[in-house]
Amino acid sequence: MNLQHQTALVTGGGTGIGRATSLALAGKGVSVAVNYSRSRQEAEETVQLIRSLGGQAIALQADVSKDHEVRDMTRQIAHHFGTLDLLVNNASITSHIPFPDLEAATEEVWDNLFAVNVKGMFYCARAVAPYMNKEGRGAIVNLGSIAGTTGLGSSLPYAVSKAAVHGLTKSLARALAPVIRVNCVVPGAVQTRWWAGREEQMKHLAPNLLLQQLSTPEDIAQLICAVLEQEAMTGQIITVDSGQTM
C-alpha cells in the first residue's frame, strides 16, 4: 500500500522509536499526529522537524491509559486532517525491578504497566477503528518487545505486559479483519533513552549480539513503515533484534 496522503497517529511519538517513526512516515508523505503524555517539548520538536522538511504534523497530548482522552484525541485528528488511516501503538512505560524481588512488583506497578502498555494500545485501536472502517482500509502496528517472548526484561511485570501485547495483536487482527490489518513489531535492545544510567551495560551487550550492534530507532521505524505498507499480512509478530534472541 502506498502511504502517501494518509494520516497516522503515533503514540509516544516525540522521542526514540516514536520520533523516528513519525519522521519516517512523514518522509513517505503521511500526515502525522504526534501523541505525547508528558514529553511536550520533544513532541513539538518532532512536529517542527517534520514541518521543516515540508511535511504535515500536529502534536496532541493524551494519556493513552485513559479511554476518554484517547477518544477525544482521535476526534481531533480526524477533524484536523479529515481522516485517520494508520496507528502506531508505540507508547509504553516500564519499571526497573530485579526479577527475584517479587515483593517489589507491587499492585501499583502491575496496574500502571498494564494500563499503558496493554489497555492503552487497545483503547487506541478501538478509537481509530471506526474511522478506518469508514475509509474501507487501515493498518495498526503495535510495539512489542523481546521481553514478551523471552520472559526477560527490565522487570517481570513489563515482560508479561509485552507478552500480552503480542496476544492482543493476534486478537485484534481477528476482530478487525478484513478491513484493518494489525501486526506487531518486536524490538530487542535499541539505542534510546531507556538506557539512561545503564550505558555501560549497553556497551557490553552489543558485542555479544550476532550482528554486534544494537538496533537504532531508525531501524525499527523502517520496519514499522514496511509492515504498514504490506497489504498481505496481519496478526504477525515480527522480531528485529540484531540476533539477540538467537
> Span 155-168, mean pLDDT?
98
Told to judge if 158 belongs to the known catalytic residues of this protein, a careful annotator would answer yes
pLDDT of residue 198: 57
Identified catalytic residue from 36, 123, 131, 158? 158
Distance CA 31, CA 38 (A): 22
pLDDT at 95: 93
Using one digit for the tens of pLDDT, what is the confidence trace for 50-79?
A: 999 999 999 999 999 999 999 999 999 999
pLDDT attached to residue 1: 86
* pTM for this entry: 0.94
